[in-house]
Chains A and B, each alone.
Chain A
Amino acid sequence: GAGVSQSPSNKVTEKGKDVELRCDPISGHTALYWYRQSLGQGLEFLIYFQGNSAPDKSGLPSDRFSAERTGGSVSTLTIQRTQQEDSAVYLCASSENRETYNEQFFGPGTRLTVL
Chain B
Amino acid sequence: AQSVSQHNHHVILSEAASLELGCNYSYGGTVNLFWYVQYPGQHLQLLLKYFSGDPLVKGIKGFEAEFIKSKFSFNLRKPSVQWSDTAEYFCAVNGGKGGKLIFGQGTELSVKP
Give residues in A with beta carbon < 8 Å to B. Answer: 31, 33, 35, 42-45, 48, 50, 56, 58-59, 91, 93, 95, 97, 99-109
Contact = CB atoms under 8 A, between A and B. Distances in A.
B44 A103 contact: no
Interface in B82-111: 90, 92, 94, 97-106
Interface in B26-50: 32, 34, 36, 42-46, 49
B72 interface: no
Contact of B43 (A45, A95, A101, A109): A109
Contacts of B104: 42
The B contact surface, by secondary structure, is: loop
Contacts of B45: 106
Contacts of B92: 43
Given A107-B43, A109-B43, A100 B102 contact: no
Interface of B: 32, 34, 36, 42-46, 49, 51-52, 90, 92, 94, 97-106
A101 B51 contact: yes
A38 to B, nearest CB: 12
A97 B96 CA distance: 10
B101 A99 contact: no
B9 to A, nearest CB: 11
B98 A45 contact: no
B113 to A, nearest CB: 27
Contacts of B49: 103
Contacts of B99: 48, 56, 102
Contacts of B34: 103
B53 to A, nearest CB: 11
A77 to B, nearest CB: 15
B98 A43 contact: no
3 pairs of A and B residues whose beta carbons are closest in the complex: A43-B103, A45-B100, A106-B44
